[in-house]
């Protein structure tokens, strides 16, 4: 069984939290090499002294030779372990990347599903909104055409023309947008410059309240009576 197949069989959480082993083994190898050099540098001189009859040098030569042999044996073992660790670490990285890719694909799928559902709801809402908008325009025009004979000209400033109603729709969209409506994701038509014409945004009560007030103003001017009188 390959190392990658072994890792695939592990618990997903364990693979996710996998700690690479190769760096720690590499540090051990470097430490052994740092010890080995100075020890080996002593052997030639000690061998000579031992050969010349220096018993203490002979004992040191034997001791250091044993240390060098032990270090070389350990180094050999660690080199094999390091090779295996590198292979395992690389396999773990492949597995982690595969897991991340799967998670990201699932995230993409969820976000697109949410987007599509929102688009469907948006389409239905816009269909209803455009129908209501057309009704507002139609009845505004009919109200102006029904201006009673003898009541004089239609009240100046009445909000019954398309040109007067459209800015209210844009203003309503702007008021409904969360945060900064100047950002690129703002709703089409939701631009703050509309208030150069309408006045301050904070003073805008919304299209419904604005048209209700306009209705009261029109009726008062046509009948000479305040609303409710």
- Residue 140 falls within a domain, yes or no? no
Q: Which two tokens stand for residue 216?
A: 């009261």
The whole-model pTM stands at: 0.58
Summarised one tens digit per residue, pLDDT across range 92-135 is 999 999 999 999 999 999 999 999 999 999 999 999 999 999 99
Q: How many CB atoms lie within 10 A of CB 27?
A: 10
Residues 11 and 100 in one domain: yes
**What is the SS3 assignment for 185?**
coil
Distance in angstroms (rounded) separating the CA atoms of residues 197 and 167 = 8
Domain that holds residue 196: 147-223
Residues 13 and 102 in one domain: yes
Residues 153 and 109 in one domain: no
CB 26 within 8 A of CB 111: no
Residues 108 and 215 in one domain: no
- Residue 181 falls within a domain, yes or no? yes
Residues 114 and 192 in one domain: no
Phi, psi (degrees; rounded to nearest 5) at 72: -65, -40
- Residue 141 falls within a domain, yes or no? no
Residues 166 and 109 in one domain: no
Q: Which of 84, 87, 78, 97 is nearest to 26 (CA)?
A: 78
| Reported confidence tier of residue 69, pLDDT bands at 50, 70, 90 | very high
Residues 161 and 99 in one domain: no
Residues 69 and 24 in one domain: yes
Summarised one tens digit per residue, pLDDT across range 45-61 is 999 999 999 999 999 99
Cα 212 from chain centroid (whole Å): 43
- Residue 136 falls within a domain, yes or no? no
Phi, psi (degrees; rounded to nearest 5) at 45: -65, -40
Summarised one tens digit per residue, pLDDT across range 130-168 is 999 999 999 999 999 999 877 778 999 999 999 999 988
Total domains in the chain come to 2
Residues 110 and 156 in one domain: no
- Residue 99 falls within a domain, yes or no? yes
**How would you class 105 by CB atoms within 10 Å of its CB: exposed for 0-12, middle for 13-18, buried for 19 or more?**
exposed
End position of a domain, from candidates 102, 118, 134 = 118
Residues 114 and 154 in one domain: no
Distance in angstroms (rounded) separating the CA atoms of residues 208 and 3 = 68
């Amino acid at each position: 069984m390959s190392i990658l197949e072994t890792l695939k069989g592990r618990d997903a959480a364990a693979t996710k939290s996998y700690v690479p082993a190769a760096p720690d083994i590499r540090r051990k190898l470097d430490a052994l090499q740092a010890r080995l050099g100075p020890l080996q540098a002593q052997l030639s001189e000690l061998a000579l002294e031992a050969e010349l009859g220096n018993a203490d040098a002979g004992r040191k030569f034997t001791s250091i030779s044993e240390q060098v042999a032990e270090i070389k044996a350990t180094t050999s073992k660690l080199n094999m372990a390091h090779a295996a660790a590198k292979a395992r670490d690389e396999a773990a990285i492949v597995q982690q990347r595969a897991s991340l890719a799967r998670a990201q694909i699932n995230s993409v799928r969820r976000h697109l599903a949410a987007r599509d559902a929102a688009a469907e709801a948006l389409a239905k809402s816009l269909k209803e909104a455009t129908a209501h908008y057309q009704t507002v325009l139609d009845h505004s025009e009919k109200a102006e055409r029904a201006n009673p004979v003898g009541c004089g000209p239609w009240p100046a400033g009445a909000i019954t023309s398309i040109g007067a109603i459209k800015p209210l729709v844009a203003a309503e969209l702007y008021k409904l947008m969360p945060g900064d409506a100047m950002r690129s994701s703002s709703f089409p038509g939701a631009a703050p410059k509309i208030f150069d014409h309408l006045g301050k945004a904070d003073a805008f009560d919304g299209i419904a309240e604005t048209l209700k007030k306009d209705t009261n103003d029109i009726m008062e001017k046509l009948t000479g009576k305040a609303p409710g009188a």
